[in-house]
Homo-oligomer: A and B are copies of this chain.
Amino acid sequence: MAYIKNTWYAAAWSHEITRDMLARTIANEKIVFYRTESGEVAALEDRCPHRFVPLHLGKLKGDIVECAYHGLCFDASGACTLNPHGDGKIPRAARVKAYKVVEKHSIAWLWLGEAERADESLIADFSVLTDPSFQTVSSYLHVRANYQLISDNLLDLSHGQYIHPMFANAEGPPRFEPEKEPADHEVWAKFSRPNQYPNKYFQMLGYPSDQRGDHRNFMRWSSPSLLLLDVGMTGVGRPVEEGLSIPTSHLLTPETDCTTHYFWAMSRDFRQEDVALSEQLLRVGVAVFDDEDKPVIEAQQRMIDNSELMSLNPVLLQTDGPAVRARRVVEARLQAEQAS
């Protein structure tokens, strides 16, 4: 399966990258991440070019990785700095690929493609994750399904009515507002429930259960698979700013063709100091994503085996519009990249 190379992937939460080497496969490329002594993130091909032992099995000495097997040393640029054997000559081919990584919004963003095209300004806006006026809880989930099956899930939140008791509503699935504009790098999937009683989630967050209001679930998808949900509830007809708002980040990174790194976070601009609420939100997120979405998406993956979903001619509903648009954006970028 082909992946867009010249784009930013969420490789890790910043806090995951330390002085202990972290091995992680991204879009089928095996990579070892570590933090240099000066605090930068280094990302190297996780395979010694000598005998192909994973570098993460070795030792980090200063900013240098020493291979576990025969002690070849590589610096953060991927250059071999020491061959401790025989005449000590370093063969020209003795180097590993070094990847460009940028830290922003508490995420380590990885560029798989040509380093000279790695433009930081292309990173989608997830500033909410580090905005001091928000309190954020975050986690990581490993899913045995292709990343696009998960973005399909997130771009059609009507599933909440069926899969997530906490998000279901007595009046049925939400109203869907189809997008009019053609998609470029972004797709919006807007679901709303005007003038309804709060679901269990908003009740938990403090919205009075006997009071109607306007719910919104506006999902922003950025290529290749970075999603930010503007989810909130406010009084009927009242401005958004008055109500509860919990921007929720979903960063999907293909690991292999059939597995995905799923980084998620829930931010809020109310009761920021309430530790119990933070813990509760984390528990809810784990319950919803791990226990409710994941089994269904993995069953879907097993059902389609290794096929590409669209090649199986799925029946399409109106609510699939955003997911289909997003897949088209990815496909177009892939083809453009392969053509050039």
A159 within 8 A of B: yes
Main secondary structure of the interface of A (DSSP, over half): loop
Chain B residues whose CB sits within 8 angstroms of the CB of A309 once the complex forms: 51-52
With CB as the reference atom, state the residue of chain B lying closest to A321: B86
Complex interface: chain B residues within 8 A of A69 (CB): 159, 162-163, 296, 300
Give chain A interface residues in 277-314, CB to chain B under 8 Å: 295-296, 299-300, 303-304, 309, 312-314
Q: Is A319 an interface residue (CB 8 A)?
A: yes
Q: How far is the CA of A219 from the CA of B93 in the complex (A)?
A: 28
* Additional A-B contacts beyond A52-B303, A57-B296, A91-B317 (20; CB < 8 A): A49-B315, A50-B314, A51-B309, A52-B300, A54-B303, A69-B159, A69-B163, A70-B158, A70-B162, A84-B158, A84-B161, A85-B176, A85-B318, A85-B319, A86-B178, A86-B318, A86-B319, A89-B318, A93-B315, A94-B315
| Residue from B51, B163, B304 in contact with A152 in the complex, judged by beta carbons closer than 8 Å | B51
Q: A214 at the A/B interface (Cβ < 8 Å)?
A: no
A47: which B residues are within 8 A, CB to CB?
303
Instruction: Tally chain A residues at the interface, Cβ within 8 Å.
Output: 51
A93 to B316, CA, bound (A): 9
Task: Give CA–CA (A18, B301) in the complex, Å.
Answer: 27
With A51-B300, A53-B296, A86-B176 known as contacts, the answer to whether A162 contacts B71 (CB < 8 A) is: yes
Closest 7 CB pairs of A and B: A86-B318, A49-B315, A85-B319, A71-B162, A94-B315, A52-B303, A50-B315
Report the bound CA distance from A91 to B94 in whole Å: 58
Check A173/B49 contact, CB under 8 A, given A57-B296, A86-B317, A318-B85: no
> Which residues of A173-214 have CB atoms within 8 Å of chain B's CB atoms?
173, 176, 178
Contact B84 A163, beta carbon cutoff 8 Å: no
Cβ contacts A to B, 14 pairs, < 8 Å: A49-B314, A51-B152, A52-B300, A53-B299, A57-B299, A66-B162, A69-B296, A69-B300, A70-B158, A71-B158, A85-B176, A85-B317, A86-B176, A91-B316
Bound state CA distance, A87 and B176, in angstroms? 9
Chain B residues lying within 8 Å of A173, measured Cβ to Cβ, are: 71, 84-85
Q: Could you say how many copies of this chain the assembly holds?
A: 3
Instruction: Let me know if A83 is at the binding interface, CB within 8 A.
Output: yes
Residues on B with beta carbons closer than 8 Å to the beta carbon of A11: none
Question: Which residues A75-115 have CB closer than 8 A to chain B?
Answer: 83-87, 89, 91, 93-94
A30 contacts the other chain (CB 8 A): yes
Determine how close the nearest CB of chain B comes to the CB of A144; give it in whole angstroms. Answer: 15
**CB distance A87 to B52 under 8 Å?**
no
Q: A292's closest neighbor in chain B, by CB?
A: B68
Q: Please give me the residue from chain B that is nearest to A53 by CB atom.
A: B300
Contact partners of A70 in chain B: CB under 8 A: 156, 158-159, 162, 317, 319
Beta-carbon contact of B319 and A30 below 8 Å: no
